[in-house]
């Protein structure tokens, strides 16, 4: 098989065109792949945050339900606010200062 001058000239041109095409693809794909990776990491973080916030929300909903009853309101009024019913006597613990 004998190579001609024309085929010898086409070979470097073909190599150069292939290299340019590969470089173009590389420069267009790599930044997009980086963005996709960063977004997937961010999505995982947000999913964890969502789970954490859902648990907090559920705990607070249960707390709200438990303190919404008349018994709970009375307990809070007595313990935290020092309120008493009519006719009751309040006994307070006095701590002497030294």
**Count of structural domains within the chain:** 1
Would you say residue 97 lies in a domain?
no
Would you say residue 59 lies in a domain?
yes
Pairwise CA distance, residues 98 & 78, whole Å: 29
Would you say residue 75 lies in a domain?
yes
Domain of residue 46 covers 5-79
What distance lies between CA 71 and its chain's CA centroid? 38
9-58 pLDDT per residue, tens: 677 888 888 889 888 888 888 889 999 999 999 999 999 999 999 999 99
The full DSSP string for the chain is ----HHHHHHHHHHHHHHHHHHHHHHHHHHHHHHHHHHHHHHHHHHHHHHHHHHHHHHHHHHHHHHHTSHHHHHHHHHHTT----TT-----------
Would you say residue 34 lies in a domain?
yes
pLDDT of residue 27: 86
Would you say residue 84 lies in a domain?
no
The answer for residues whose C-beta is within 8 angstroms of residue 82's C-beta and 6 or more apart is 90
pLDDT of residue 6: 57
Would you say residue 93 lies in a domain?
no
Would you say residue 66 lies in a domain?
yes
Asked if residue 90 lies in contact with residue 82, where contact means CB atoms within 8 angstroms, the answer is: yes
Would you say residue 95 lies in a domain?
no
The total number of residues written for the chain in this structure: 98
């Amino acid at each position: 098989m004998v190579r001609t001058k024309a085929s010898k000239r086409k070979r470097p041109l073909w190599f150069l065109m292939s290299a340019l095409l590969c470089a173009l693809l590389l420069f267009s794909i790599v930044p997009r792949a980086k963005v996709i990776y960063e977004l997937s990491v961010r999505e995982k973080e947000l999913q964890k945050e969502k789970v954490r916030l859902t648990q907090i929300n559920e705990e607070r909903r249960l707390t709200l339900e438990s303190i919404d009853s008349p018994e709970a309101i009375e307990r809070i009024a007595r313990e935290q606010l020092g309120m008493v019913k009519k006719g009751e006597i309040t006994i307070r613990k006095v701590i002497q200062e030294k």
